[in-house]
Homo-oligomer: A and B are copies of this chain.
Amino acid sequence: MNPYEFVETHRDAFLDELKEFLRIPSISTLSEHKPDIRRAADWLRQHFEQIGLTRTEIIESAGNPFVYAEWLGAGPDAPTVLVYGHYDVQPADDPDGQWKTDPFEPVVKDGSLYARGATDDKGQTFTQMKAVHGLLAAGQMPVNIKFIIEGEEESGSDHIHGFVRENPDLLKTDAVIVSDTSILSLDQPSIVTGLRGMTYLEIEVQGPDHDLHSGMYGGVVQNPAQALVHILAAMHDDQGHILVPGFYDRVRVLSDAERTELAKVPFSLERLKDETGLDTPWGEPEYQMHERLGIRPTLEINGLVSGWTGEGAKTVLPAKALAKVSCRLVPDQDPKEIESLVRQYVTSITPPAITSTVRRLHDGMWAVVDPDSPYMRAAVRAYEFGFGAPPVFMREGGSIPIVGTFQKVLDAPVILMGFGLPDDNLHAPNEKFSLECFYRGMKTAIKFYQEVGAL
Contacts and interface: CB of A to CB of B under 8 A. Distances in A.
B30 A310 contact: yes
Contact of A307 (B289, B302, B311, B396): B302
Contacts of A293: 216-220
A168 interface: no
Most buried by B among A220, A306, A310, A313: A220
A398 B276 contact: no
Interface string A311-325: 111111110011110
B282 A222 contact: yes
Contacts of A315: 198, 200, 302, 326, 399, 427
A116 interface: no
Nearest to A306: B304
A6 to B, nearest CB: 34
Interface residues of A, number: 101
A264 interface: no
B353 A279 contact: yes
A208 to B, nearest CB: 4
Interface string A212-226: 111111111111011
Given A312-B361, A428-B210, A229 B229 contact: yes
Interface of A: 29-31, 90-91, 93, 98, 154-156, 182, 196, 198, 200, 207-223, 225-226, 228-230, 232-236, 238, 240, 267, 272, 275-284, 289, 292-293, 296, 298, 300-318, 321-324, 326, 328, 351-353, 361-362, 396-399, 422, 425-430
14 contacts: A182-B216, A213-B428, A216-B426, A218-B293, A225-B323, A230-B238, A232-B233, A233-B234, A301-B307, A302-B314, A304-B306, A304-B307, A313-B362, A314-B427
Shortest Cβ-Cβ A-B pairs, 5 listed? A209-B277, A215-B398, A233-B233, A219-B292, A222-B282
